[in-house]
């Protein structure tokens, strides 16, 4: 083996000296300390290569396969270059991304028409948030092995993407209310800045010190460098610190679907920067590694075929190996959580489909594993989500509960509460899942209540207020009240919901049955009563909320989703067969109410009376049971009991 001279470079960047040590790696090819590729990762893959490990075989087969792979951004080829030293892999890595146009480079289309067509040569916002980080890492990995022309073109694309994310939001920019865009753009820009610090230190420093735009409207905030100065929206870096607070307990704040991609990008970026600099620049994120591991493990159903879904989901009742295994690969690889690694192994072995390439750099078949055994309660108080599970066998029960906390980010939820129960391999208590599209759309699809037919959480105050649990029970509560719009909204409607507090109490009983107690305490005024709220104030509510209130004559709607249209109703008991082929019984202790059952398939996007919208597929639409009290105003309490399996 031949070794070249060791070169040490000192560069002053953003108030700190960085020492870059250039060495010669195995197989005779030179490599710097690389962003997104640590010494430990390199050693693990060299060991797998030596052993001809199945993961090494999988990497080789996927790189050399002609099969189209969605989400192939060149990381596989880039890794093959790093592992083998074969420069042809560096070239093929770039060719996975060379369709994109740069500032002067015209992409594979070669002309302006190509460069002005989204997803061909022109990158949209969804593209920069998803691909910027990866291309920046690839540039750092492969630049020394690329031809002069390829290296110039690759950097030209990255220069354009940098200009785009640093522009105002009318041009492209970065919205801090969109956590996945903030994460993807921040780490894309930071990793690119660090990647070019030795070849263009002035440009590198300018990116890290970006002070924001100043156009007067739709401005993009300052990037904020590498150190947070607070948890707020004053900079991209500070926004990430704020997101970390919202993610306390390990649940990111977007949705059970979007979280997989955002957390994966977040942890890739954090690991890349921290390893490169040799210090933890994101302690608020690395402190969450164990929580992320628990969250992504414990949301999975006992038989590993489904998971607790909440928020916007384009795919429903589907474990989605493509993205889930990739996310587990990153989360488990960084946290080294033994149960997380065990679940990752199991789902990877079950998957016959292509897995998103992000899992590969973090693959670690050598760290200790532990058979899935966690049971009892899990709680993510940042997001307001709690689970209770009996174990990991087909017959085990799994309960999910949520009370939405304030986030002010994209994909926020309009419903205060929801709950679901999985047992014997299926959801016996479920709700209608889908891509709701707007925070005013999701509430009727949850197991919740619509106060006066339209309100589920009030912007002035809402969220989780209590949690307690042991091996046999879980108690979870939340509350809301006040104005529908907060103080930022001019001439808001008057406050008519003074308090709605709900609690879920789940019991797993000695005979294997499950019970859920739902208690509601409510103090509200009829928002359509002109003596309480003038017409002009009522009109300040969103059109959809007004339609829902008027459609049910401003009566409260206690909502539970059923699996059949015609349940058996005897007095205060309503029963039906659940998906697990077990009888489910609802016993209500409400008085002076009426019962109504709706077929969502007949009412979706039809307007009156329920005004059900959103992007929900027919297969996901079900039946709504609504218990409707006759009293519209004043203090009320509602007590309901759901029981599944055995005797009440």
Q: Which helix (H) or strand (E) holds 621?
A: none
List phi, psi (to 5°) of 512. 90, -5
Q: What is the pLDDT of residues 444-477, one digit of tens each?
A: 999 999 999 999 989 888 999 999 999 999 999 9
Q: What is the pLDDT of residues 537-551, one digit of tens each?
A: 999 999 999 999 999
496 occurs within a structural domain: yes
Confidence band for 438, pLDDT divided at 50, 70 and 90:
confident
Q: What is the pLDDT of residues 374-408, one digit of tens each?
A: 999 999 999 999 999 999 999 999 999 999 998 88
Closest of 465, 464, 442, 432 to residue 625, by C-alpha: 432
Q: Which pLDDT does position 647 carry in this prediction? A: 57
Closest of 302, 294, 354, 355 to residue 329, by C-alpha: 355
94 occurs within a structural domain: no
Residues 250-260 have a mean pLDDT of: 95
Task: Quickly tell me which residue has 């409707």 as its tokens.
Answer: 628
Q: Phi/psi zone of residue 437: left (φ > 0), alpha (ψ -120 to 50 degrees), beta?
A: left
375 occurs within a structural domain: no
471 occurs within a structural domain: yes
Beta bridge partners of 520: 502, 638
Contact between 572 and 589 under an 8 Å Cβ cutoff? The reply is yes
Q: Which pLDDT does position 354 carry in this prediction? A: 76
% of the chain residues with pLDDT over 90: 85
Burial of 602 (0-12, 13-18, 19+ CB in 10 A): exposed
% of the chain residues with pLDDT over 70: 94
Closest of 144, 142, 124 to residue 134, by C-alpha: 142
Q: Which pLDDT does position 165 carry in this prediction? A: 98
Q: Which pLDDT does position 66 carry in this prediction? A: 78
Q: Which pLDDT does position 218 carry in this prediction? A: 92
Residues 581-610 have a mean pLDDT of: 97
Q: Is 561 helix (H, G, I), strand (E, B) or coil?
A: strand
Contact between 267 and 275 under an 8 Å Cβ cutoff? The reply is no
Beta bridge partners of 16: 13
Residues 238-242 have a mean pLDDT of: 98
pLDDT at position 517 over 90: yes
In whole angstroms, give the CA distance from residue 29 to residue 50: 18
Closest of 197, 217, 179, 250 to residue 20, by C-alpha: 197
443 occurs within a structural domain: yes
593 occurs within a structural domain: yes
**Cβ-proximal residues to 266 (8 Å cutoff; 6+ apart), any chain:** 183, 187, 240, 285
Q: Which pLDDT does position 17 carry in this prediction? A: 38
CATH assignment of the domain containing 462: 2.70.98.70
Contact between 131 and 123 under an 8 Å Cβ cutoff? The reply is yes
Q: Which residue range forms the structural domain that includes residue 403?
A: 386-644
Q: What is the pLDDT of residues 316-354, one digit of tens each?
A: 998 889 899 999 999 999 999 999 999 999 999 988 777
140 occurs within a structural domain: no
CA torsion 15-16-17-22 (nearest 10°) is -110
- Half-sphere CA count of 135, side-chain side, radius 13 A: 31
Q: What is the pLDDT of residues 12-37, one digit of tens each?
A: 443 443 444 333 344 434 346 999 99
In whole angstroms, give the CA distance from residue 569 to residue 384: 33
- For 379, other C-beta atoms within 10 Å of its C-beta total 23
Mean pLDDT, all residues of the chain? 92
* Chain length of the chain: 648
Angle between helices 236-246 and 179-195 (to 10 degrees): 130
Confidence band for 573, pLDDT divided at 50, 70 and 90:
very high
In whole angstroms, give the CA distance from residue 433 to residue 617: 9
Q: Which helix (H) or strand (E) holds 296?
A: helix 289-298
Instruction: Output the pTM of the full model.
Output: 0.93
Residues 565-573 have a mean pLDDT of: 96
In whole angstroms, give the CA distance from residue 222 to residue 228: 12
Q: Which pLDDT does position 113 carry in this prediction? A: 97
> Number of folded domains in the chain?
1
Peptide bond before 513: cis, by omega within 30 degrees of 0? no
In whole angstroms, give the CA distance from residue 30 to residue 24: 4
Q: Which helix (H) or strand (E) holds 299?
A: none
615 occurs within a structural domain: yes
Task: Quickly tell me which residue has 């002076």 as its tokens.
Answer: 592
């Amino acid at each position: 083996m031949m070794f070249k001279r060791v070169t040490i470079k000192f560069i002053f960047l953003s108030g700190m000296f960085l020492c870059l040590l250039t060495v010669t790696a195995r197989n005779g090819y030179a490599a710097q300390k690389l962003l997104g590729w640590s010494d430990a990762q390199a050693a693990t893959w060299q060991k797998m290569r030596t052993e001809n490990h199945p993961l090494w075989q999988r990497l080789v087969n996927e790189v050399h396969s002609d099969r189209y792979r969605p989400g192939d951004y060149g990381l596989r080829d880039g890794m093959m270059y790093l592992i083998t030293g074969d420069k042809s892999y560096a070239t093929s890595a770039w060719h996975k991304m060379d369709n994109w146009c740069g500032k002067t480079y015209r992409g594979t289309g070669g002309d302006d028409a190509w460069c002005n067509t989204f997803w061909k040569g022109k990158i949209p916002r969804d593209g920069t948030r998803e691909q910027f980080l990866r291309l920046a890492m690839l540039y750092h990995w492969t630049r020394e092995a690329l031809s002069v022309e390829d290296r110039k073109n690759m950097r030209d694309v990255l220069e354009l993407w940098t200009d785009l994310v640093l522009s105002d939001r009318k041009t492209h920019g970065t919205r801090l209310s969109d956590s996945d865009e903030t994460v993807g753009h921040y780490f894309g820009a930071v990793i690119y800045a660090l990647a070019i610090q030795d070849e263009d230190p002035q440009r590198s420093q300018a990116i890290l010190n970006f002070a924001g735009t100043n156009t007067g409207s739709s401005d993009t905030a300052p990037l904020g460098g590498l150190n947070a100065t607070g948890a707020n929206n004053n900079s991209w870096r500070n926004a990430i610190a704020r997101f970390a607070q919202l993610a306390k307990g390990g649940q990111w704040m977007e949705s059970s679907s979007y979280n997989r991609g955002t957390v994966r990008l977040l942890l890739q970026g954090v690991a890349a920067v921290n390893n490169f600099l040799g210090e933890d620049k994101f302690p608020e994120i690395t402190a969450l590694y164990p929580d992320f591991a628990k969250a992504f493990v414990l949301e999975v159903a006992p038989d590993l075929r489904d998971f607790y879904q909440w928020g916007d989901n384009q795919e429903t009742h589907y474990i989605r190996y493509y993205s889930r295994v990739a996310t587990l690969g990153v989360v488990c690889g960084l946290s080294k959580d033994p149960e997380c690694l065990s679940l990752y192994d199991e789902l990877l072995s079950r998957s016959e489909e292509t897995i998103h390439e992000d899992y590969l750099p973090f693959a670690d078949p050598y760290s200790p594993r532990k058979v899935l055994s966690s049971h009892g309660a899990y709680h993510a108080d940042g997001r307001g989500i709690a689970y209770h599970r009996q174990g990991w066998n087909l017959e085990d029960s799994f309960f999910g509960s949520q009370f939405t906390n304030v986030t002010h980010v994209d994909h926020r939820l309009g419903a205060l509460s929801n709950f679901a129960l999985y047992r014997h391999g299926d959801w016996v208590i479920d709700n209608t899942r889908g891509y709701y599209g707007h925070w005013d759309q999701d509430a009727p699809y949850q197991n919740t209540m619509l106060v006066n037919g339209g309100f589920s959480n009030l912007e002035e105050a809402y969220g989780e207020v209590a949690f307690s649990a042991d091996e046999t029970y879980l108690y979870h509560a939340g509350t809301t009240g006040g104005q529908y719009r907060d103080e930022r909204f001019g001439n808001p409607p008057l406050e008519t919901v003074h308090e709605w507090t709900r609690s879920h109490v789940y019991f797993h009983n000695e005979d294997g049955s499950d019970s859920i107690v739902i208690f509601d305490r409510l103090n509200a005024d009829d928002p359509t009563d002109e003596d309480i709220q003038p017409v002009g104030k009522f009109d300040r509510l969103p059109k959809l909320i007004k339609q829902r209130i008027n459609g049910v004559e401003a009566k409260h709607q206690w909502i539970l989703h059923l699996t059949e249209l015609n349940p058996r109703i005897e007095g205060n008991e309503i029963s039906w067969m659940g998906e697990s082929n077990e009888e489910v019984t609802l016993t209500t202790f409400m008085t002076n109410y009426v019962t109504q059952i709706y077929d969502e398939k007949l009412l979706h996007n039809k307007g009156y009376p329920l005004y059900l919208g959103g992007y929900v597929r027919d297969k996901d639409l079900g039946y709504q049971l609504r218990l409707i009290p006759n009293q519209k105003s004043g203090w009320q309490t509602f007590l309901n009991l759901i029981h599944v399996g055995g005797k009440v």
